[in-house]
Amino acid sequence: MTAALAELAAQLPHLDLRTDAVDLEHYGRDWTRRWTPAPLAIALPTGIADVQAIVRWARRHGVGLVPSGGRTGLSGGAVAARGELVVAFDRMNRVLSFDAVDRTLTVEPGLPLEALQSAARGHGLFYPVDFAARGSCSIGGNIATNAGGIRVIRYGNTREWIAGLKLVDGNGDLLDLNRGLIKNSSGYDLRHLVIGAEGTLGLVVEATIRLTDPPPPSNVMVFAVPRMDALMKVFDACRRRLSLGAFEFFTDRALHHVVAHGAQRPFEGDSPYYVITEFDAADEADQATALEVFEDCAGQGWVDDGVLSQSDAQAAALWRLREGITESLAPHRPYKNDISMRISVIPEFMREMAAVFAHEYPHFDVVWFGHIGDGNLHINVLRPPGLDDAAFVSQCDHVTELLGALLQRVGGSISAEHGIGLVKKPHLGSTRSAAEIDVMRGIKRVLDPGGLFNQGKLFD
């Protein structure tokens, strides 16, 4: 492919095209670390015309393309291990325009989520999608996985905030999808096909983002919950009486790891489960209602202890108990499950899966946490010392088959917000029927006739 790369460099002499080993390693992987990076090269375009030229070059030479943003993905969706050209959007990271009437920002795909949130605040508005990787993930990657995060319970996923997209398809053509319209009943909404497609249908080169009013002042409570079956009772009590912005849970093992990583324990005693909730607290009446909710839950035996934040600094420290979990587990290279189901079936599901884990993982450290208020659970399995990586992944894949079967029975999904990528591809059939997968393949053939984009991801 040396001659082909030389042709691309000659065609786009300003293009930053990298082939040194350090860059191939850096850009060829995501957070999974399960595949050896082996990209052909790294291309860093600076505009839409560059991306179109790259796609047409790739089509001529039959070179696969892997889109790359912050590479914070957890499903192998940004891995380049088969000689692909990585199209990295680091240099397409600008805010292009703001429309005060429509309350939208138009941005390039490489813009970090935190920068988008900051730009919204600069205009007195709010972009609500949020999670711990905000400083390093990009809006293009968020669109690719329809990212959710900690405030889905109020604001929904990324999908709800995308007013329009520009996409370069497999022919190198530029598609302008929805154009920022609120109402547009003119056939298929191709924008929504692209959101959550994991970069398999084309390269997003521009996004128009809806903004909203800043939320009212809020407060944070953390509860110690003694039993699994009490989790949803606490959720119901909070939801009925408080205006919730977030409702998250984590287990004692999650607390153990995040405290070892530097967070402060919320209570002196221990409990098997913990809940963190954020709620509107505009006045003293809201604060009083929150205390009443705690007292009622404690009186029912659903809560053993609780703490209510008294300052922004304390609220941030309490949120660290939840948001710091993934970082605290990273050195252990956990096997991750990211699953979703209807909220009503969570207690039954957790009981059944706890029994499966006790049988299949008797000596493994299994860490549960997640967005329980929107039905999304994260299950992290830590590799025991002395067990090699291949044996560990094989055993975890077997349990994921059991997990998939249970999810199929309760109508859940094997991937809530991380995507399918390479990691969950063998288990896609537990969530999608064969007919649905055939339809998805057909859609890909239309938008990507050369099969260029993210080859082997999602499905073969």
Which contiguous run of DSSP H or E holds residue 192? helix 190-194
What 281-287 contacts at long range (C-beta under 8 Å, 24+ apart), as own/partner pairs, is 281/216, 281/217, 281/218, 281/219, 282/216, 282/217, 286/219, 286/242, 286/243, 287/219
Q: Could you tell me if 82 and 118 lie in one domain?
A: no
Distances in Å between the alpha carbon of 239 and those of 148, 307, 409?
Answer: 19, 18, 27
**Unique residue bearing structure tokens 């984009």:** 453
CA 339 distance to own-chain centroid? 11
Query: Domain for residue 268, yes or no?
Result: yes
CA distance 302 to 233: 7
Phi, psi of 239 (to 5 degrees): -65, -35
Prediction pTM value: 0.92
Q: Could you tell me if 181 and 285 lie in one domain?
A: no
Output the tens digit of pLDDT for each of the chain's 460 residues.
789 999 999 999 999 999 999 999 999 998 888 899 999 999 999 999 999 999 999 999 999 999 999 998 889 999 999 999 999 999 999 999 999 999 999 999 999 999 999 999 999 999 999 988 899 999 999 999 999 988 999 999 999 999 999 999 999 999 999 999 999 999 999 999 999 999 999 999 999 999 999 999 999 999 999 999 899 999 999 999 999 999 999 999 999 999 999 999 999 889 999 999 999 998 999 999 999 999 999 999 999 999 999 999 999 999 999 999 999 998 888 999 999 999 999 988 999 998 999 999 888 999 999 998 999 999 999 998 889 989 999 999 999 999 999 999 999 999 999 999 999 999 999 999 999 999 999 999 999 999 999 999 999 9
Query: Domain for residue 428, yes or no?
Result: no
Neighbours of 190 (CB within 10 A): 18
Domain of residue 270, CATH code: 3.30.70.2190
pLDDT, residue 132, reads: 84
Q: Could you tell me if 113 and 129 lie in one domain?
A: yes
Q: Could you tell me if 252 and 199 lie in one domain?
A: no
Q: Could you tell me if 237 and 320 lie in one domain?
A: yes
Sheet containing 335-340, strands listed edge to edge, beginning at the edge strand earlier in sequence = 305-308, 218-225, 273-280, 244-251, 365-371, 376-382, 335-340
pLDDT, residue 85, reads: 98
Query: Domain for residue 435, yes or no?
Result: no
Torsion of CA 93, 96, 101, 103, to 10 degrees: 0
Q: Could you tell me if 53 and 121 lie in one domain?
A: no
In order, the DSSP letters of 265-308 are PS-SS--SEEEEEEEE--SHHHHHHHHHHHHHHHHTTS-SEEEE
CA distance 190 to 196: 12
Query: Domain for residue 76, yes or no?
Result: yes
Phi, psi of 132 (to 5 degrees): -65, -30
Q: Could you tell me if 308 and 379 lie in one domain?
A: no
Q: How many domains are there within the chain?
A: 4
What DSSP character marks residue 386?
Answer: T
Q: At what angle do helices 2-11 and 48-61 cross, to 10 degrees?
A: 150
Count CA within 13 A, CB hemisphere, residue 13.
Answer: 1
- 8 Å CB contact between 448 and 200: yes
Count CA within 13 A, CB hemisphere, residue 80.
Answer: 29
Q: Which amino acid is at 402?
A: L
Q: Could you tell me if 318 and 240 lie in one domain?
A: yes
Q: Could you tell me if 228 and 292 lie in one domain?
A: yes
What DSSP character marks residue 128?
Answer: -
pLDDT, residue 34, reads: 86
Query: Domain for residue 57, yes or no?
Result: yes
Which contiguous run of DSSP H or E holds residue 251? strand 244-251
What DSSP character marks residue 71?
Answer: -
Query: Domain for residue 176, yes or no?
Result: yes
Last-in-domain residue among 90, 124, 156: 90
CA distance 245 to 342: 19
Question: Which of these, 62, 73, 64, 79, lies nearest to 24 by C-alpha position?
Answer: 79
**Structural domain range at position 60:** 2-90
How many residues comprise the chain? 460
Q: Which two tokens stand for residue 361?
A: 């993982």
Q: Could you tell me if 379 and 348 lie in one domain?
A: yes
Domain of residue 84, CATH code: 3.30.43.10
Q: Could you tell me if 320 and 347 lie in one domain?
A: no
Last-in-domain residue among 210, 231, 252: 210
- 8 Å CB contact between 63 and 85: yes
Let me know how many helices (H) and strands (E) the chain has, helices first.
Answer: 15, 16
CA distance 31 to 141: 13
Distances in Å between the alpha carbon of 124 and those of 118, 164, 207, 213, 214?
Answer: 10, 22, 20, 8, 7
Domain of residue 111, CATH code: 3.30.465.10
Q: Could you tell me if 142 and 172 lie in one domain?
A: yes
Domain of residue 414, CATH code: 3.30.70.2740
pLDDT, residue 363, reads: 86
Query: Domain for residue 426, yes or no?
Result: no
CA distance 457 to 443: 15
Query: Domain for residue 423, yes or no?
Result: no
Last-in-domain residue among 278, 293, 326: 326
CA distance 386 to 163: 50
